[in-house]
Amino acid sequence: MGKNSTLKNKHTDDLVDHYWGTISYLTSLIKASELKAGLILSFYGILLNFIYQGTESFSDQLSNDIYLYILIGAWACCTVASIFFCIRCFIPRIEGKFSKNMFFFKDIISKFGDVEEFSKTFLKMSQDEDQLFLQLGEQIFIISKISDWKFKNVKRAIRLLAIGLIILFITGLYHFLFILS
């Protein structure tokens, strides 16, 4: 084999590593978004436990103050919406509007025949560099869409968490000032 053949093989190896590295990076972003959503849900679990434990003393002091009820309602809406976006992040997101792909688990079992047909098709596609990189590129695009969708949900959940905490602080301050007066 000549020097050009060795360089071409090295370049192909580098490209394969680059594509798989990108897929790995994007997959880690999806895991990170789900971890963040899980941490937000855990925080809500702790916060709601504290609130539940404090409701006995708080409920005795409630009056017919409409502003207090509005603040509590606004906080509850923010909290429910934030939890909703966290849960959405855990919902599997499958992009099925693309051509069949050798690297997508659902296509592997449903669009390439039985195990022998798939294995032959996979080997043939793996030997065709252009086809291989097109399939990997499509998978990178699809995983990027999924990652983006999950991070949008986490971002919304964090914003609503922050707004809810501000409302909760204002509610506590308002209630405290109401008791003093």
Residue 129 CB contacts under 8 Å (≥ 6 apart), including other chains: 12
| Alpha-carbon span 98 to 81, nearest angstrom | 31
Give the pLDDT confidence score for residue 48 in this predicted structure.
93
| Alpha-carbon span 82 to 44, nearest angstrom | 9
| Alpha-carbon span 37 to 82, nearest angstrom | 10
pLDDT at 6 over 50: yes
Nearest alpha-carbon partner for 159 in 47, 45, 74, 79: 79
Q: What integer is the mean pLDDT of 47-52?
A: 90
* Per-domain residue ranges of the chain: 3-180
Give the pLDDT confidence score for residue 1 in this predicted structure.
47
Q: What are the tokens at 165?
A: 């905490």
Give the pLDDT confidence score for residue 58 in this predicted structure.
61
Which amino acid appears at position 109 of this protein?
Answer: I
The model's pLDDT over 117-165, given as tens digits with 9 standing for 90+, comes to 989 988 998 888 889 899 999 999 999 999 999 999 999 999 999 999 9
Nearest alpha-carbon partner for 41 in 77, 88, 83, 92: 83
pLDDT at 93 over 90: no
The model's pLDDT over 12-42, given as tens digits with 9 standing for 90+, comes to 778 888 999 999 999 999 999 999 999 999 9
